[in-house]
Structures are given as structure tokens and as C-alpha cells.
């Protein structure tokens, strides 16, 4: 993306300053949208600058407002969940990671506490593989630092949640010590749930009733809700996704409480942000689906959610099996074409049947214009190159034609062309053979075409590819490249 558009969106009065209600310098801004916030999806194919823009948002704003950047393509959280598949998942590990980062937040208002999320995680700990009180206690101790705020200027945080972590987590299970249980024993589950509620102050107990009493099937009884949460998590599939989504809601409720408490209301500014890079991957889609469903159902919180999407419509999951035309396209914003559009949730009929796309704002990553492209290539040229020469014009034309205005491709081609002179009888495609020296490996050079194939194809595999195609997906992509539209591609898949 061109620097002018970046600055326009990231500057003091830009789109993200309004979305986060605070500028990069720390000045308060008039909030953009709310209290019903859209989920913002940056749309565009590989090389359009989505990941770079998210990193820029993090780097510019994270010192002023709590902004967490996550890569949903990373396997780190999946690896962490591996040792205890009955008590953890990649989604729960992501939520724990977000909570841990915010529990050490040192900006305005200080750190956050996560007692609501903690309670759900402790109940999931009863799925520890060994099924003993020792195993459950060991698993629960992973979350011991989450429910209470760290000490700030001599004052203890946590207020009416303090009883949850008084002493050791193991004390929650003292009544069951020495007993032997089958894995996922109801006795262990009931012991944990009862111990949590017994140690809470009345205000904390009432808050858990408000949260977990609304879990499906709880009928207002929080203990039932927590047991159902654990049972759904153990069931896997869609039931587990429901439980994970509810824990994501609990995390956002904890963040919201950090703003609405008396001290938070006085000391916190702006809005918190969660930036989901590669959100088109399954982990990111589950998080997006959960927050969109919650907000469609009336749940409100101030957490800004920004993700990425390769598809122009944001992703098939947003439309509930309908085409984007049938469901009604999501609202759009094209940077460079004026101010962000007004946004309100467009609902018709029952909210649960409203497509999730109605809760999304698609931010279209822009292509470079001809003038912007020329400025990029000019910056890359050597100072000895006479400005306005025939080679200069040929390079501009070749970069424009080969890149299609895609920012990443423009940058790579322009860098390769900086010391490359087009042969007199050259075709534009000859520029693809120009050598490019990568900063990470300055000792060697590669043809720019090979660099682009690796960065835009090999490093960007399809998200959901049938197992029979995984070993030859580049061949499949080449085969489908001749298709005019989706119907044509389906014909090619069926008959060849």
C-alpha cells in the first residue's frame, strides 16, 4: 500500500484513531461507531498489505491503548494445547495468551483481571487426562495469575474476586484430596464448581450468575452453565466451538469490566483492540464467528476486532450458505475515497437468522495508482539513473503491467529494477529475471520472479484444501487458472 494511504488511515485523525478512540500520540479522538461496533475485515489477496497494516496499527497504537496482535496461522497455540486435549484447545490457548498479555498492560489504567474467563478455564481443567485431583489442580494452576489485578502503586486489585485465588489453586480441591476418580469425573467437576462459588464474595458470585447463568441450558443457574460448558467442550465439534465462543465472550466481558469499574472509568481511555492476522484460517474464523454471533444477539462491548480476509466478500461463513447477493453484501470502506461510511446493523426478521455479514465492515486494501507506482519505482532507482530516460519509462511500464498495482509486487519489482537495464529488444516480462538481493540473505541474489512465487504462492497455501489435493496444490492452482468464474472452475475440477 502506498505510504500516503497508510498515513491517512494511521495518522492522528485517521480511520484507526477513530476506531480505537485515541490517536498514536495519545490524544483522545471522537469514537468511530458504537456502542454496536462492526468487525472490520481487511480484504485483498496476497501482497495487498493486510498483514503490514495490522503490524503498523499495533506498532503505532499499542503504547497508548491495549492492542493485541495475533497470527491465526501460527501453530504455537495448537502445540500448547497438545499435551492436554481434553482441557485445552488452540482457541482456549489464544484466549489465555490475550489475557496474559493484558494482565501485564502498563498503559493508562494499568493491568486487566480475568476472573470470568478464569472460572470457565478452571472448569475445563477437570478434563485433564489423568482425571485425578492432582492433575486437575496442576492444570488449573496454569491460570492462577489471571483473575486478580497485579498490585498497582501499593493497592491490591481484584476487589470482590480476591477470594477466588486466596492461597493456592490446590485449596479448591482439598475436600477431594486422596480420592481416585475416572477421567472427567462428575465428582471432580462438582467439587471445582462448588469450591469456586464458596470462595467468592457476594458481588463476584452475582457476576458469575449473570455470565454463566446465560449459557445454553443453564436456565439462569451458573453452576449448570459451567457444567454444560465443560460437557460441550468435551463433546468436540460444534459443541466445543460453542463453549470456546462463550469463553471468548467471558474474556471480552472481563476487558469491558476494566473500563466500566469506577477506577477504570476514571483512568482508562480509548478502546482495546484485537488484531487477527490471517483470520481466514480456522482459528481466526472461529473467533470471528463467535464475536459476530454475540453482537448479532445483542451483546455489546468496546473491543475493536480487526481481521484479514482473502476473499472479497469477507468469507463464505459470513453468509450462512447464501450468496453475498442473496444475503446482502457487507458494508464497504475504500481508503482514499473519502471518510469512512456511517455504519449501523441492518437486521430484518429474527436476529439469529440475520447473516453474520451484516455485522462486518469490509476495508478494501487499495491498488497503487499510476502516480503512486511511479513514485515507488523512482525511490528505488540508483542516483546515477538519468530521470526521465527511456529506461526509466520502460521500467515504469513493466512494473505497472506485471504488478497490476499490488503494493508488495510493486516494491519487489521496483527493488529488482533499481540496478537493472532493460535490453533494447526486451519484453516487459524480462524484468522478472532481474536479480533481487533479499535483506535477510544479502550474500545471494535470486530472480525476482522466484521471490514473488515463494512469497505470494508457496508461503500462502489455500486455507481449506481437500486432503487429496494437498500434495499438488500448485498444480491444481495452475490447472484452475484458466477458469473464467466459479462455475467454470467447478467444471474443471469435476471432469479433469
Residue-range definition of the domain harbouring residue 433:
370-458
How far apart, in Å, are the Cα atoms of 484 and each of 211, 416, 488? Answer: 50, 32, 6
Give residue-wise pLDDT tens across range 42-85: 999 899 999 999 999 999 999 999 999 999 999 999 999 999 99
- Residues 30 and 156 placed together within one structural domain of the fold: yes
**3-state SS, one letter per residue, for 316-361:** HHHHCCCCHHHHCCCEEECCCCCCCCCCCCCCCCCHHHCCHHHHEE
What values do phi and psi take at 306, rounded to 5? -125, 125
- Residues 480 and 423 placed together within one structural domain of the fold: no
- Residues 148 and 164 placed together within one structural domain of the fold: yes
Structural domain count, the chain? 3
- Residues 317 and 394 placed together within one structural domain of the fold: no
- Residues 40 and 135 placed together within one structural domain of the fold: yes
- 370 alpha carbon, distance to own chain's centre: 32
pTM: 0.90
How far apart, in Å, are the Cα atoms of 26 and each of 272, 303, 304, 352, 438? Answer: 14, 18, 17, 39, 36
Peptide bond into 35 cis (omega under 30): yes
In eight-state DSSP terms, residue 152 is B
Give residue-wise pLDDT tens across range 84-111: 999 999 999 999 999 999 999 998 888 9
Pairing label, strands 67-71, 39-43: unpaired
- Residues 234 and 376 placed together within one structural domain of the fold: no
- Residues 228 and 330 placed together within one structural domain of the fold: yes
- Residues 411 and 301 placed together within one structural domain of the fold: no
- Residues 173 and 232 placed together within one structural domain of the fold: yes
- Residues 348 and 473 placed together within one structural domain of the fold: no
- Residues 111 and 243 placed together within one structural domain of the fold: yes
Q: Identify the domain boundary among 308, 333, 364.
A: 364
pLDDT digits (tens), the chain, 496 positions:
457 778 888 988 899 999 999 999 988 889 999 889 999 999 998 999 999 999 999 999 999 999 999 999 999 999 999 999 999 999 999 999 999 999 999 988 889 999 899 999 989 988 888 777 778 888 888 888 888 765 433 333 445 555 554 444 566 666 555 555 554 567 777 777 777 777 777 888 888 899 999 999 999 999 899 999 999 999 999 999 999 999 999 999 999 999 988 877 878 999 999 999 999 999 999 999 999 999 999 999 999 999 999 999 999 999 988 877 777 778 999 987 778 888 988 776 677 788 999 999 999 999 988 888 888 888 877 544 544 466 777 888 889 999 989 999 999 998 888 878 777 777 888 899 888 887 665 567 889 999 999 999 888 888 877 778 778 888 888 888 889 888 898 898 887 7
- Residues 307 and 419 placed together within one structural domain of the fold: no
Amino acid at each position: 500500500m502506498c505510504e500516503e494511504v497508510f498515513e491517512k488511515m494511521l495518522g492522528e485523525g485517521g480511520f484507526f484513531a477513530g476506531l480505537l478512540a485515541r490517536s498514536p500520540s495519545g490524544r483522545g479522538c471522537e469514537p468511530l461507531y458504537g456502542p454496536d461496533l462492526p468487525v472490520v475485515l481487511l480484504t485483498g489477496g496476497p501482497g495487498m498489505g493486510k498483514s503490514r497494516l495490522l503490524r503498523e496499527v499495533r506498532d503505532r497504537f499499542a503504547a497508548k491503548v491495549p492492542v493485541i496482535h495475533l497470527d491465526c496461522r501460527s501453530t504455537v497455540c495448537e502445540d500448547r494445547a497438545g499435551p492436554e486435549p481434553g482441557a485445552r484447545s488452540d482457541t482456549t490457548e489464544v484466549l489465555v495468551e490475550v489475557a496474559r498479555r493484558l494482565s501485564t498492560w502498563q498503559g493508562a489504567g494499568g493491568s486487566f483481571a480475568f476472573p470470568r474467563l478464569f472460572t470457565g478455564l478452571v472448569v475445563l481443567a477437570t478434563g485433564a487426562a489423568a482425571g485425578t485431583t492432582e492433575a486437575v489442580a496442576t492444570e488449573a494452576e496454569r491460570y492462577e495469575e489471571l483473575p486478580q489485578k497485579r498490585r498497582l502503586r501499593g493497592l491490591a486489585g481484584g476487589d470482590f474476586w480476591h477470594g477466588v485465588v486466596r492461597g493456592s489453586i490446590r485449596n479448591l480441591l482439598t475436600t477431594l484430596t486422596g480420592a481416585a476418580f475416572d477421567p472427567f469425573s462428575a465428582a471432580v467437576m462438582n467439587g471445582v464448581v462448588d469450591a469456586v462459588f464458596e470462595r467468592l464474595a457476594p458481588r463476584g458470585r452475582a457476576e458469575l450468575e449473570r455470565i454463566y447463568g446465560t449459557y445454553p441450558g443453564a436456565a439462569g443457574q451458573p453452576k449448570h452453565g459451567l457444567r454444560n460448558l465443560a460437557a460441550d467442550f468435551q463433546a468436540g465439534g460444534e459443541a466445543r466451538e460453542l463453549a470456546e465462543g462463550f469463553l471468548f465472550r467471558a474474556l471480552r466481558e472481563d476487558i469491558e469490566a476494566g473500563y466500566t469499574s469506577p477506577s477504570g472509568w476514571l483512568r482508562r481511555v480509548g478502546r482495546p483492540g484485537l488484531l487477527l492476522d490471517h483470520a481466514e484460517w480456522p482459528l481466526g474464523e472461529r473467533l470471528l464467528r463467535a464475536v459476530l454471533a454475540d453482537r448479532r444477539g445483542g451483546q455489546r462491548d468496546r473491543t475493536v476486532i480487526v481481521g484479514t480476509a482473502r476473499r472479497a466478500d469477507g468469507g463464505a461463513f459470513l453468509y450462512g450458505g447464501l450468496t453475498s447477493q442473496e444475503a446482502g453484501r457487507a458494508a464497504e470502506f475504500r481508503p482514499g475515497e473519502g471518510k469512512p461510511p456511517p455504519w449501523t446493523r441492518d437486521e430484518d426478521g429474527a436476529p439469529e437468522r440475520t447473516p453474520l455479514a451484516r455485522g462486518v465492515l469490509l476495508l478494501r486494501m487499495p491498488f497503487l495508482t499510476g502516480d503512486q507506482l511511479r513514485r515507488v519505482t523512482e525511490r528505488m532507482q540508483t542516483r546515477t539513473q538519468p530521470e526521465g530516460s527511456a529506461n526509466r519509462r520502460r521500467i515504469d511500464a513493466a512494473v505497472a503491467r506485471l504488478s497490476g498495482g499490488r503494493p508488495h509486487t510493486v516494491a519487489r519489482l521496483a527493488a529488482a529494477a533499481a540496478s537493472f537495464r532493460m535490453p533494447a529488444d526486451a519484453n516487459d516480462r524480462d524484468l522478472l529475471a532481474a536479480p533481487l538481493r533479499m535483506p535477510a540473505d544479502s550474500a545471494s541474489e535470486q530472480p525476482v520472479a522466484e521471490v514473488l512465487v515463494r512469497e505470494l504462492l508457496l508461503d500462502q497455501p489455500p486455507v481449506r484444501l481437500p486432503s487429496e489435493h494437498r500434495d499438488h496444490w500448485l498444480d491444481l492452482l495452475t490447472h484452475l487458472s484458466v477458469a473464467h468464474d466459479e462455475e467454470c472452475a467447478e467444471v474443471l475440477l469435476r471432469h479433469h
